[in-house]
Amino acid sequence: MRLSLRNILLGGVFGIAAAAAPAQAADPIKIATIAETSAISGVGIPNGAKLAAEEINAAGGVNGRMIEIIEYDDHNSAADGVRAFQRAAQQDKVHAVIASYVSEVVLALEPWAGRLKMPMITPGAASNDITKRVHDDYDHMKYVFHGYLASTQIADAVCEGAKKLLVTDLHMKTAVVMSEDAAWTIPLDAEYLKCLPEIGIKVLDHIRLSPDTTDFTPIFNKIEGIKPDVIITGISHVGVQPTVQWQQQQVPIPMYGVSSQATNSTFWKDTNGATEGVIFNMVSAPDVAVTAKTIPFAKNYQKKYGNLPGYAAYTSYDDVYMWAEAIKKAGSTDPDKMVEAMERTDHVGTIGRITFLPKGDTFAHGMRIGEGYITGLMVQWQKGNPVTVWPPAAATGKMTFPSFIKLPQ
């Protein structure tokens, strides 16, 4: 018997369950999203969550209970994020939280998850300290899960792709690391400085720039004077401005690495096409069937919201399914039972097979990385579309660059 994709997505998890008392069945399961909804990377968090909730509810909910997504905007502020978290837990009585792609916000929320015993997962923040705190103080911090890669893991994926794309294919030997000064880039840059030389790329300079930078001319002039083969990036909040100025100034050096805003389909319009040729890291992409769920989700998201999902939309969508599965397995919304069930997660989502590392691991409650679990992709903007260029098994195209880029001979 052949199963439809919808049956595969929904049937196994949210089928007919044991009957609950009528009053309890009527009560919704409340999941909060706390996000930077004015940012192109942040708005995907509530959007992805709502899409998952609609699908789960259409299939009967969780043990007959519907999922309700309650949205909060933290305005890119840790203080506003904490106030939203407190309101969600104490006033609105939510059962779980999906919070932020900004590491500073998540790190501010983490102690409150412990104090209020509120299960929380981040769909996009990357700081290594998120999981380190769980490892170091499990009894208090066990309520926090990391639904994205840690910065060190991201850097390793970028380097692994660079070994093939930059060293083998383009014969590059030198780089300048250019990252924004933020919590998530501290471990990212440390790993860049370690893993790039290991694949044969010498780092000529390491530039950390203020997220408030508006004129990148002095930075690009300095980089051009050093003459590296490539700029390795770690940018998120400042993504549009350096990309536009890189193109306007015809900087002849490719940009490769992490550019969070570039993961959103609106980035082409936001930069007026200046992102042509930029190569960036993702864990899933709209043109690659990472799993059977990836492309259908991207299409449904585009149909509903008018643009393709950014990286945190994929993970937020998966996070709702995982919280729903945890509640079903726990048979309860008791936070300790939810945490115990979440620790046993084995979920095939849009980004791959998701399981969480145990409390004794350095990345406790982080996702297991590697073949068969979560792996990275390198994607390039080409003529208005994101095209996956690595790994070879997933690639849907080859690298191309604007005419002003000068590649090693």
Bridge partners, 166 (sequence order): none
Same domain for 238 and 215, yes or no, is yes
Same domain (yes/no): 182, 111 = no
What is the Cα–Cα distance from 4 to 7, expressed in whole angstroms?
A: 5
**Same domain, yes or no: 62 and 75:** yes
Indicate the helix (H) or strand (E) that contains 202: strand 202-209
For residues 145 and 9, state if they share a domain.
yes
Euclidean distance between CA atoms 159 and 401, whole angstroms: 20
Mean pLDDT of the chain: 92
Clarify whether residues 66 and 197 are in a common domain: no
Angle at 380 between CA 103 and CA 265, to 5 degrees: 65
Is there a domain that residue 406 lies in? no
For residues 20 and 165, membership in a common domain is answered with no
Q: Is 370 part of any domain?
A: no
Co-location of 24 and 139 in the same domain: yes
Identify any residues that bridge with 174 across adjacent strands, giving them in sequence order. 202
pLDDT tens for 261-309 read 888 888 899 899 999 999 999 998 888 999 999 999 999 999 999 988 9
Residues 70 and 165 occupy one common structural domain: no
Q: At how many degrees (to 10) do helices 217-226 and 240-248 cross?
A: 60
In a domain, 395, yes or no: no
pLDDT of 258 higher than 90: yes
Do residues 130 and 235 share a domain? no
Query: For position 73, which CATH number holds?
Result: 3.40.50.2300
Distance CA 227, CA 244 (A): 20
Lowest mean pLDDT among 2-11, 257-266, 334-343: 2-11
> Has residue 344 been placed in a domain?
yes
Record the tokens describing residue 323, joined without a space.
Answer: 């919280």
Tell me: the pLDDT tens digits for 104-148? 999 999 999 999 999 999 999 999 999 999 999 999 999 999 999
Considering only CA atoms, which of 121, 101, 106, 11 is closest in space to residue 55?
A: 11
Domain tally, the chain: 2
Domain holding 144, by residue range, is 5-149+289-354
- Answer yes or no: is 55 within a domain: yes
